[in-house]
Amino acid sequence: MGFDTSLTSVEKTLTKLEKLRLQNARVARVDGRFALRELFADNSVEHVIVNFPCPWPKKRHSRRRLTREDFVETLGAVLEPGGIFELATDVEWFAREMAETLKKTRSFSKLAIITNPDRPLKTRYERKWLSQGRTIYLLKAEKTGHIHIERTVTGGLPHTKIKKMDIKKLTQMKGQIWQEGEKVVVIKDVYHDLDQKNWLVLTYSSDSDFQQHYYILITKKGDGFLVKLDSTTVPFRTPAVKWSVFRLAEEIGV
């Protein structure tokens, strides 16, 4: 199972899989940190390999680094006992920072950083950096203790009814930002059909650093309006996505 946030990278991988006629591989265009945490059960993964992630060297971007404790906690939950984590990078401090976070959890052992490892398969970036004479660092660790984590995507479609709606307020919603804890919601645009019975609200939401775009539908129902996720987009129902539906309804309901 491979994850990359870039559609181009996913497409390239799929083309290679097809050429090689590999039947036992799947690729998904999704944030790997989110996918590991939300799509895999505890103790269900044998091996996690992260190849050349961006180290986000600037301090103001450090929250985006994979070396954050929450990613290591995910590894400590989904890897099976004895499961292996590997990180390949050309940035030495990044490998060391990851090793420090792994150590802090006390759930990993046999930590080692191997310089210029002889890996049987080399990724595109690995070949690129090696051809430029850069050193490659491979951090390896074994899971020896379990870490409990909470998953954030839970079932249930968020929807709510409002009796009356402030249409003027809705039409002026573009650019509205709501924030609560780790949740951020931004209203990007508002569209309606000719007889103003259906409204589509293009919404951006973020849970920590996991970002999604989707539509919220407001549609006439009985003597009121129904506010729900529109089925043209299928976001993961994270806390921010659910909150956006209720927050919007609260804002425009009268």
Ligand X SMILES: C[S@@+](CC[C@H](N)C(=O)[O-])C[C@H]1O[C@@H](n2cnc3c(N)ncnc32)[C@H](O)[C@@H]1O
Q: Which is nearer to ligand X, 5 or 172 (CB)?
A: 5
Q: Given the rule CB under 6 A, which residues bind ligand X? A: 3-6, 9, 31-33, 51-54, 123-126
Q: Which is nearer to ligand X, 31 or 230 (CB)?
A: 31
Asked if 178 and 188 count as a contact pair (C-beta separation under 8 A), the reply is no
Q: Which is nearer to ligand X, 120 or 156 (CB)?
A: 120
| Alpha helices, H only, the chain | 7-20, 32-39, 69-78, 92-105, 124-131, 167-171, 239-252
Count of CB atoms situated within 10 Å of the CB of 21: 6
Distance (Å, whole) CA 18 – CA 13: 9
Cβ-closest residue to ligand X?
Answer: 123
Smallest separation (angstroms) from ligand X to the CB of 121: 10
Inter-CA distances, 175 with 187, 189, 204, Å: 5, 7, 10
Q: Which is nearer to ligand X, 79 or 245 (CB)?
A: 79
Q: Which is nearer to ligand X, 53 or 76 (CB)?
A: 53
Smallest separation (angstroms) from ligand X to the CB of 43: 22
Smallest separation (angstroms) from ligand X to the CB of 88: 7
Smallest separation (angstroms) from ligand X to the CB of 5: 4
**Strand, helix or coil for residue 23:** coil
Tokens of 93: 């401090």
